[in-house]
Amino acid sequence: MTRSVPELSLKAFTEGDAAQRQAFSDAMMRGLQDYGFFVLKDHGVPLELLQTAYSEAEGLFALPEATKTRYAKGMRGYTPFGVEHAKDSGHPDLKEFWQVGHDPSPDAGGDIEPNVWPAEAPGVKPAFQSLFGALNETGVVLLRALAPKLGLADDYFDDKVRYGTSLLRVLHYPPLAADVDPNAVRSAAHEDINFLTIMVAARGKGLELLDRDGTWLPVVTEPTNLIVDSGDMLARMTNGVIPATTHRVVNPSGANVSRYSMPFFMHPTLGTSLEVLPSCVGGGAKFEPVTAGAFLDERLRAIGLKK
């Protein structure tokens, strides 16, 4: 029997009765445990917004390299092609991207960096800000659905992510150059760092997850859907009850064209403890307590985004 990532309707949770909400939470938990991924439909993020964001992304990455590089400001703004690599890979990923986070707020303390916006592409700011907000709201709802499965109050994660270091990453994988490193891929096998990743279904195939039997399983869905996966921070907090699943983006086997993708990485605040939850300790904690900030710092250095 061919395995495929389960598809869930968010309306079952946001508009359903108690039994439907419970069924959604159960199915979400099963999806994350069995695959590390699930597909989300009926999520409320407007299709027009997704289309606008992709259109703005195409224009943004078509700007001259010298123009884009002026906006390379660390974890916000532009990251040039070939900078990031997977944690244990010696070969750079074949991608460039632009990152957007929460806007600084007096209530957020000093953890929030200012966003960076390109003057040459004025439509980028409203499109990416709106998409960040919509995906962030979706992430809050998903964590509320997940929390009771971990023996927690529905709102347990709310204050942890309200001013977290969450990021919308708008990715461009250019056509492969003729002299491309044969060992380099668009995104080498890796696990995400954060709580949850919510990906807008990409324009272009290539996303694969490492299934439990060791085979690579393509993750394909309609462009109107979202794809959700669990990251290392959630794996640590749940003692591996919810694993972080390895995934990658392979090089094109057909037409050698650009691929665009827009994952939203839901992170807690830097001071959030990733200590194993009491309900998940079982026979003993597999991970030492660490703050989200210390863990994030270590991982950013490991993938080449921080020195």
Please, which residues have CB within 8 angstroms of residue 36's CB and are 6 or more apart in sequence?
Answer: 209, 229, 230, 242, 243, 244, 245, 247
Residue with tokens 């800000």: 129
The answer to whether residue 200 sits within a structural domain is yes
CA distance to 6, 176, 198, 215, 301, per residue, from 86 (Å): 27, 18, 19, 19, 11
Whether residue 1 is contained in a domain is answered as no
Residue 31 included in any domain: yes
pTM for this prediction: 0.94
Tens of each residue's pLDDT in the chain, 307 residues: 678 899 999 999 999 999 999 999 999 999 999 999 999 999 999 999 999 999 999 999 999 999 999 999 888 999 998 887 777 777 888 899 999 999 988 777 676 889 999 999 999 999 999 999 999 999 999 999 999 999 999 999 999 999 999 999 999 998 887 777 777 888 888 899 999 999 987 776 789 999 999 999 999 888 889 999 999 999 999 999 999 999 998 888 777 888 899 999 999 999 999 999 999 999 999 999 999 999 999 998 887 787 7
The DSSP H or E segment spanning 249 is strand 247-249
Strand ranges (E), 76-235? 76-79, 96-101, 167-173, 187-190, 196-203, 207-210, 216-218, 226-230
Q: Is residue 252 within 8 Å of 204, Cβ to Cβ?
A: yes
Position 29 in a domain = yes
Position 307 in a domain: no
Pairwise CA distance, residues 251 & 48, whole Å? 28
For the record, the structure tokens of 299 come out as: 């991982």
Phi, psi of 153 (to 5 degrees): -65, 150
User: Distance (Å, rounded) from C-alpha 302 to C-alpha 307?
Assistant: 9
Residues belonging to the chain? 307
pLDDT of res. 145 = 98
Residue 1: predicted pLDDT: 65
Q: Which structural domain, as residue segments, surrounds residue 241?
A: 7-302
Instruction: With beta carbons less than 8 A apart as the criterion, state whether 242 and 33 touch.
Output: yes
Strand order in the sheet with 259-266: 7-9, 37-41, 226-230, 196-203, 259-266, 167-173, 96-101, 76-79, 72-73
2 domain residue, yes or no:
no
Residue 150 lies in a domain: yes
Any domain includes 159: yes
Per-residue pLDDT, 74:
83
- Cα 11 from chain centroid? 21
End-to-end alpha carbon distance in the chain: 46
Check which CATH number belongs to the domain holding 138 and give it: 2.60.120.330
Domains held by the chain: number: 1
pLDDT of the residue at 217: 93
Contact between 186 and 249 under an 8 Å Cβ cutoff? The reply is: yes
The alpha carbon torsion through 8, 127, 162, 284 (nearest 10 deg) reads 50
